[in-house]
Every structure is written in C-alpha cells, then in structure tokens.
Structure 1
Amino acid sequence: MTDSRVYGIDLGTTYTCIAHVDDLSGRPHITPNDAGELTTPSVVLFEDAETRVVGREAKNIAVMEAENVVEMIKREMGKPEWRREFFGHRYSPEEISSYILRKVVDDTERHEGTRPHKVVVTCPAYFGIPQREATAAAGRIAGLDVLEVINEPTAAAIAYGAQHPEDQVVLVYDLGGGTFDVTVIDIKDSAITVVATDGAHELGGRNWDEELVKFAAGQWQAEHPGAGTDPLDSPETVQDLWLRAERAKWSLSSMAQTKVAVTHDGQQVTVPLTREKFNDLTQYLLDSTMSLTRQVMETARELGYPKIDLILLVGGSTKMPQVTARLEAEFSLEVKSFEPDQAVAKGAAIYGQKLAVGERVRTEIGKKLDRAPEQVDVAAAPEKVRMAAEELVASDMGLRLGTVQYLSGMVVRNVVSHSFGVIALTADDTEVISNLVLAQQALPAEATRTFGIRHSGMGAVELRIFENTSREAVVKDLDTGEQVGVAMLELASDLPADSPVDVVFRLDNEGRLTVTGRDRSVGGKEVTAVIETNRALSAEQVAVAIKHANSIRILG
C-alpha cells in the first residue's frame, strides 16, 4: 500500500462502510470490520468514562441500555443545542460520530497493517453548511485528514460511472437506513455532473422498521386485551422487537411472508406478516420518496434534462421489493440496483484517489512548465508533458497507468443543494430573503447584487445571510430559511438613502460560502461575512474534543 492512499467512508445513519482503491487493479474494495462484516452499525455504547463500544454489540443492546447508547446520530449533525451527557461529560454529535469513524479506521488498520489518515467522507446531498462542517469536524476529532465531504448520490454515481462509462442521465434513488436522497446526474465523457438534488433527513429504513414494531406490539395487545400492559413500554421487549422487525423486513425482500415473535410479560404471540401487509403499513413512507423523486425530475426538466435513462438504486433499504415495483410503475423507466450497501463508500474512495492523483499530476506538470501546482490546468497542458507526468505518478504511487489516466481525467461537477440570500427590505419595510444563489445552481457559483441603504446617515448595515430551499429570487416567509452568517458593514458617513451597497456571494466546489459586502461610495469599506459556527463545533471546541478523544478507548 502507498502512503498516498485515500480512503472513502460512507458515514451512514445506521451503518458505516470504508473503502479504498486497490493499487494494482484500480478497483475499489470494501475493508471488512473485525467481525468480517462489510458494514458496521453506526451505534455507540458509552460503557464507562473511557470506553466506547461501537457496532453490532452496541446495536444489540441499544434499547435495553438506552441511557448509555446513541443511535442515528447523523440526524443530529449541525445542531448546536444537541448534547448527551455520559459520566459527567456532555458530548456533541461530532464527537459521537468520531467514535464511529475511529472504529472503522481501527478495524482497517488491523486488517491492512497501516492506519488510514487521508479520507473523503460522504453526507446526504441536502446537507447544508453546518451539517457538512460538522461531518468534517467529526473526522478531525477522529484524527483524520478530511480532504472533502462529498454527496452520497454523487459518490454512488462515481462508482457506477467507473463501471458503466457510457453517456447517460441517471436518477440516483438513495434510500438508506435513516436518510433519503434523490439526485439526477449526467454521466458524459468521464464527467459526473449533478443536475438536481433533494432529500429528507428523517426518512429511511428505520421508519419502515418502526411501523413493524408498532404493528407487532399492537397484535400482542389484541391477543391479550386484559393484560393492562403495553409491549412498547418495556425496553427489553422493544429492543427485541426492533431486531426482529429489521430481520422480518429483510426476510420479506426474498419471501412472500414471515413471522414475528413478540414476547412480553411472560406471554408470546407469533404474528404472521405478509409482504402485502408490510407494504400497506409503509405505503405512506414510500409515497414521500415518490413525491420527492417527481419534484427532482421536474427540476431537472426545467434545467434542460427532460429524459432520464435509468433509475439507480443505492442504499440498503432499496433492497425492499416495494421500492423497485413502485418506481417502475410510477415512472416507466429501467430500475437497476447497484451495490446498495457499498456503492457510496466505493465512490468516495475513487474520488479520494482522484484527488491524490490529481494533486501529484499537477505537481509534476508544474515542474515541467515552471508553474505552481494550483496554476496548472491538466487538460490544457501539452499532451507529452501530461503523459510523462502521468507515467511518473503511476510509477511513484504504485498504480496502473490506466488508473492514473482515468482518475486524472475524471471531472466531478456538483450543484448547491440550498439557496442562499440576504435579508432585504421591501418598499413597505417588510423583511424578505433576497436569494442570490439558487438551489441546483452549478458549483462553483458567484453572484453579485446591489442594494440601496434604507435611510441616510445609517453608519452601518447588517448583512444577515440565510440558507433556504426555495428556488425563488425573493422569499417572503423567513421561517422557511435559517440564518447561517452575519456581518456588519461600516458605511461612509452621511450617505444619502438608497446609496449602493454590493453584496457578493461565492460558493466553492464543496459548497463553502463566503459573503462580501462593499460600500460603493468613494473610499467605502468592505467586510466579509463569517459563516456562524454555533451550529457546529468551533475550532477551539474541536481542539478540546481532540484532546478528550485521546483518552477514549474504542471497542467493538
């Protein structure tokens, strides 16, 4: 293995997976955990002040020891108010997520003999700035160098495109254990271009399991009407039901019917469950995914992509037959399952290796052309220079030349998943969000808008930056957005009303936002809005968390 290897980590709501690109074959491979499983449950047990148990063992006792176990932590990423206290210490979502990352990294080190350091971590496409920053912070707390946080559907498309490079427009339907993403992606000429995306952060296979838990518990009560007790009030019963519900769901993926045993208060009831009944119980959940899918397809049409060639299924929950059947019936398109548990991690690994290879190729070309690497455009470099650089990089990194050429030539273009605007006043002094960058706009993006100050002699104006999901230029309902940044712009003295102020929004390829305000008067000042970190950990808090993490032992 080379020191330049970059790992891809699918940090999932219910399961986590780590992958790398094999040096010789150029193909991505999943590294199994200590139990030989290709995925690790994203569940953390706080056994004592210094010990965390991560994975299957923690999952098996999650409800019985609910006071010491954290599940579904991904749904809490970016929430500043969320903390759980264990053994006198309050833990953030980033810290808890870091234990999951450390578990898969520890297992990889034991399996391969070398500890992963550089990684690309995935997140849902609809994650905003705070959630993405929180994901990166979790990696840093785990001792990792997080090169990028990329969208899960994009990663899946990268993995798919590596095996199926023909030109096509695919809709990635990503139904995981706790989240749902739907994304239209154009694969063409070794380029992966995201067209439109949307999702729901509290919709996933876990919701299907919950319906089975409630149904089975209700059947027990129906059989024991005078028991005076509810199975859902017993942690032991509920723990057992969650595990049995998940197993029943998977059984129904291959069988028409199964049974769920409910043991409570010394009484057992065997509940028969058909696939038809399961589909009826969960139809409203599937309806929600169909609605989001239609919305994204409509957005893609508006953006010039009227035709979808294929619906690509990723995420473990797409194994349920109801998903394929419903998609085929709704949209009359080919539906194809593609490594639902592994595609995201594999795509992240391919992208990570692309970053490593790309950096080396630019460096070598820069040496030949006497330029700094960041000034090198690989595609525009003389062919002989580029080929010589690729051959050298392949030799130095121990990679096949074809792998280096493929990764060096790969282009990934993303879109911003949210709109970003600034608070402005209408003629009647009503506050609205004036969106400068709209959701589904290609990255990187830059937009400038000129506003007039409301009153003469204001002295300063406050720039309040809002993130929202509307694609309208003006949003009247402020409750649909969320403030993500603020800055005060000092103004020249005695400016008259309506004096111009420029606001510039810039988003880089990863969706990181910088906002600049500029007083256009002679000698006017400029200010840059700093995106608030109070919904994720600050640099100081991350440093404290890293120090605390050094005393923590990870088991599993």
Structure 2
Amino acid sequence: MNEIFGIDLGTTYSCISYVDEYGRPVVVPNAENERITPSVVFFDGDNVIVGDVAKENSKMYPEDVVSFVKRSMGDENFYFEHGGKNYHAEEISSFILRKLISDAENNLGQKINDVVITCPAYFGINEREATKLAGEIAGLNVKAIINEPTAAAVAYGVDYDKDKVVLVYDLGGGTFDVTMIDVKKDSIKVICTGGDHNLGGKDWDDALIAYMAEQYKEITGNDKDILEDPETCQELQLLAERVKKTLSQREKAPISINYEGERAKIEITRQKFNELTYDLLQRTVNLMDDMLKEAAKKNYTSFDEILLVGGSSRMPQVEEIIKNKYNIEPKVFDPDEAVSKGAALYGWKLSVNDELVRRISEETGKDIEDIKKSIDEKSIDENVVEAAAKRVADDTGYTLSAVKASNVKVVNVVSKSFGVVTYNNEEKEVVYNLIIKNSEVPYEFTERFGTREENQENVMIKIVEDELSDKIVDIAYGNEIGEAELVLPENLPKNSPVDITFKLNEEGRLEIKAIEAVEKREISTSIETSSVIKGKDLEEAKERNKNIEVS
C-alpha cells in the first residue's frame, strides 16, 4: 500500500507529515531539525538553497532570494530572473517541495513519491493547477489538492467523537480563509468558505515596515526613502517579523535601524501595532460575516467552536476581536502544523480506504464502485467490513482501530462561481453562473441556452469564474478562464437550443460539454488554464529541475 505524505506548501513556512501505525499524524523535521521550513528560495550560483539559510541570506543578497511566491501562483505575468533564466512561480515552489521531500527521505530512510498538497480554500482553478504542477515539476505524484481549512478540520476531527459545527479561521503568512465545517465521527462536511488569498501576515509586516521607515525619517531628519535600498528593505522585512512575534508575547519591542551610518532607535508598542493593522484585522472579520450570511442560506445559523490556525493567528489581536465580536473563546489549534497533519491524514485515508475497498471487492466479487457506494450509504454487511479491515491491518502493520477509522467521508465546496458569457433581454453581455459558489463538489449542472442569430455558424463559449453567489452577474465581476467553440448545423433558426453542462470534480477541475439539439453535435473540454506553466516551458522546468541541486 502506497504511503501518501501531506504537505502544507505555505506562503511563509511549509511543513510535511505522514501517518504512523496508530493512525496518528507525525511532522517530519527538516535537516536543521526544525518542524517547519521557511518558504524562501536562495539562488546560490548553480545551486538552490531553501529554508533558514535562504532567509538569512535575503539581507545580503536580496536580488537572489525569492519569498512569498505562493501569492504569485497562477499569475502568468510572474517571473523571477536569475542567471539569464526565467523561473515561473510553479518552478520556484517545486524547489520548496524538493527541500521538504529530500529532508524527509533522509530522516525516514525511505523514498517518497505520493503526496497530498494543500492550498487556500479561496484558490481558483489557475492557482490550484499551478500548485499541482509545482509537485509534478518536483517529480512527485500529486494524489490530491485539498483546501487548507479542510485539512485542519481533518486533523481536528481525529480526537473528537462529538458532532460539532466548527469555524476555521486560517490566517497564514500570505493568505486568509474562513470556513464553516460540520465535523462528525464519520464525516467532515464543508458548509461554506470565504477569504482572500492576498491577505495574510505579510500585510501586517508591511504595515510595520512602512511605520519603521517613517519613524526613521522623523528621528534622523533624513528624507531619503530607505525602502528603495534593497538590502535595507530586506533587513526591515526580517525585523518586522521579529517585532510582530515579540509583540505577541510582550507589550513593547525596541529596535534599531541603521542606514548609511545613521542609526535610529525606535520603540514599538503592541497598542501602536494594533492601530497600524486594525483595518487588516477588520477585513478578516468582514469576510467572516460574509461567509456566515452564506451559511445561513444553508440553514446553518450558529456554530460551536472557532479554531485558529495559521501562524499569524497567534497575534493577540486576533483572539481579542473574535471574543468581542462573537462572544466565544476561540481555540488556537496547532497553528503551524495542523494543515500538514490534516493533509497526511487525508492522504492516508485515501490509501487505506482504497485498500479496504479492494479487499472487500475481492471477497464479495462485487465491483469496486458498488462497494464504495454501499459503504457511503452504510448498506454493507459490517462483518464483511470488519474482516477486510483485519486483513488490511495484519498486512500493513496499522492497528485495526486505525484502519476502521479511515472511512471518513470528506465533503468540500467550491470557492468560486463558474458560468458562461451570454446576453440578457437588453442585449447586454452578462455572466450566467451554472455552478454557484459554496456548492458541494463534485457538482454537475446543465442549462439550456439559445442561439443569438439566424443561420449562426458557431457558438463561442466563454467560461468565467467569479466570486459572487448570484445566478446572473455583471460581466465586470467575471474572470475568463477558458473558451470552447461549438460548430452548428446550417440554417438554424434564432434561439435554437444549446445545452451546456458544467462538471466540477473534488480537486476543482472543470469539465465543459455543449450539445446542440438538432444534429446533436457536441464538444467536450477540460479547462486548460492559460495562466500556468505549460508546453515547452513546463518540459524545460522539469528537465532543469533534475540538474539543479536543492539543499
């Protein structure tokens, strides 16, 4: 049975885990014996260094260091130029993955091939595809891409038998997600999700950096913009992170800034930090409120607990605003490691459950899909499941209770709406959403449209994603992610019917099918995103990856 590792590919820190013989998630320390690895990449000549050493060198060699690359996943305009070569975000992320994998292989003495990688719940198709490609460039078999809050809920659900509705507030280094999840003993069901993948701890750091630069000017009288100097800017970035951590423990943080021989000593208080970042904190609360309104539409009007995950959720201001706003004491739940552990558990459940289903299929002679359906519907003989679970436990070394616990159903939702561009009654272009945000996945929906003109030769189907929950939205809110052309028969009258089907799988891959009703002409396509590395660039990245030493 293949062992599947879980990876939290984070904006500021990353982490890798596996599941032991008792069904418990375990974090694998890196070569520096740290449980999390900075997501920082340093191009040192022909070699690539990832982690603490890269972060330390960011001050001396800022032009050779890449940080926060996760924010550029799926951005076709992002390149990092080094040594005459352009590196896409996917390739830089692959170096982080290789560091995690290499250190884990050395630690455990085994080869790692299969992984589950997490991403923010609010990632769209482009970003998810980019995350998967990063794994492929690193030479990994990516079994699944799952949402970070869902992974955290999987980790949380291991130790709780009581049914609970949980709100996961996930404030990472570069992204923010808030997700409502119904946690039961045998299922984890995502109700709604919201957030902003351009809101995270980095924004709190940037607020501090701007303040420190302003204070330096005021104290020294030097009117130069010290942030224009790459080394000084990098130094302030590192300093801001230390200040933020200090202010999570203490009320004051004294610092010293040196620039061109002039020194300024500054004392930053927690109160001042909270003032500087209040608007950022309030944005997270506003996004929570928006998500709660969506949950209410699904008849979820209350929740039992709020879990704080993501390293930035440690800031005291987060706990304070939640207590005041929602009159509930939030739980800080394994902020740095919960997502990685949950991904490992998810992968392990996939692997064990697949093996369990295969054994039952062999024993009963029934089709594997029929077995899966019977297990989901709880219509299968418990004695058959018990016997198969015992054999899996005996053969794999996992405990019987761990194998039986692997059958937990995870139900996710889509974080965007998906639709097509069409015309309304006023002949104005609009987006008609076939899949609405927060619908359960997998999801399939068909809608009938009509041709716009007589004798129309073709239909150009423009596929759009947006962040609204309405059926019809203004085209300005849509982001085109693909298109497909359906050739029509001759001499069709106006308003001839065309059926368009959208099908979204668990990983967020969208499949399109369009059929015209007269001759039943049909097109089918999977959305191939235009904003990820592909073709020649992808093959070159894979080949280049093999020849680059990563440490």
TM-score, with length taken from structure 1: 0.96
1:229 to 200, 211, 224: 224
Is residue 2:358 matched to residue 1:359?
Answer: no
Q: Distance between the aligned counterparts of 2:153 and 2:9, measured in 1?
A: 17
Question: Which residues of 2 match residues 271-420 of structure 1 at below 5 A?
Answer: 271-377=266-372, 378=375, 379-407=378-406, 409-420=407-418
Is residue 2:505 matched to residue 1:501?
Answer: no
**Which segments of 5 or more consecutive residues in structure 2 lack a partner in the other structure?**
none
Structure 1 residue 541: deviation in Å?
4.1
Given that residues 50 and 550 in structure 2 are in contact (C-alpha distance below 8 angstroms), is that contact kept between their aligned partners in structure 1? yes
Structure 1 residue 333: deviation in Å?
1.8
Is residue 2:528 matched to residue 1:532?
Answer: yes
What is the root-mean-square deviation of aligned Cα atoms in Å? 1.4
Match of 1:512 in 2: 509
Match of 2:244 in 1: 249
Is residue 2:475 matched to residue 1:451?
Answer: no
Structure 1 residue 228: deviation in Å?
4.3
**Equivalent AA in structure 1 for residue 51 of structure 2:** G
Sequence identity of aligned pairs in percent?
42
Q: Deviations over 1:215-254 (max 9, x none)?
A: 22222211111x3433323333222222222111111111
**Which segments of 5 or more consecutive residues in structure 1 lack a partner in the other structure?**
none
Given that residues 141 and 545 in structure 1 are in contact (C-alpha distance below 8 angstroms), is that contact kept between their aligned partners in structure 2? yes
Q: Deviations over 1:337-390 (max 9, x none)?
A: 000000000000000000101111111111112234334223433222211111
Question: Which residues of 2 match residues 119-198 of structure 1 at below 5 A?
Answer: 119-198=115-194
Structure 1 residue 539: deviation in Å?
5.7
Given that residues 157 and 185 in structure 2 are in contact (C-alpha distance below 8 angstroms), is that contact kept between their aligned partners in structure 1? no
**Equivalent AA in structure 2 for residue 435 of structure 1:** N
Q: Distance between the aligned counterparts of 2:139 and 2:213, measured in 1?
A: 43
Q: Distance between the aligned counterparts of 1:403 and 1:132, measured in 2?
A: 30
Q: Distance between the aligned counterparts of 1:551 and 1:40, measured in 2?
A: 23
Q: Deviations over 1:254-306 (max 9, x none)?
A: 11112111122222222111111111111111011111011111111111100
**Equivalent AA in structure 2 for residue 176 of structure 1:** G
Q: Deviations over 1:428-462 (max 9, x none)?
A: 32111111110001111111111111112112111
**Equivalent AA in structure 2 for residue 451 of structure 1:** F
Match of 1:491 in 2: 488
Q: Deviations over 1:395-423 (max 9, x none)?
A: 2221111111111x201000011001111
Match of 1:438 in 2: 436
Match of 1:45 in 2: 42
Q: Distance between the aligned counterparts of 2:504 and 2:181, measured in 1?
A: 20
Q: Deviations over 1:480-512 (max 9, x none)?
A: 111122111122221111111101111112221
- Secondary structure of the structure 1 residue equivalent to 2:277: helix
- Secondary structure of the structure 1 residue equivalent to 2:526: strand
Task: Report the CA distance shift for 1:541/1:389 in structure 2 as closer, same or farther (over 3 A).
Answer: farther
1:71 to 67, 72, 89: 67
- Secondary structure of the structure 1 residue equivalent to 2:440: coil
- Give 4+ residue runs of structure 1 displaced > 4 Å after superposition: none
Number of equivalent positions: 547
Q: Distance between the aligned counterparts of 2:223 and 2:506, measured in 1?
A: 58
Structure 1 residue 63: deviation in Å?
4.6
Q: Distance between the aligned counterparts of 2:478 and 2:84, measured in 1?
A: 35
Given that residues 220 and 264 in structure 2 are in contact (C-alpha distance below 8 angstroms), is that contact kept between their aligned partners in structure 1? no
Structure 1 range deviating more: 323-332 or 392-401: 392-401
Given that residues 422 and 430 in structure 2 are in contact (C-alpha distance below 8 angstroms), is that contact kept between their aligned partners in structure 1? yes
**Equivalent AA in structure 2 for residue 341 of structure 1:** D
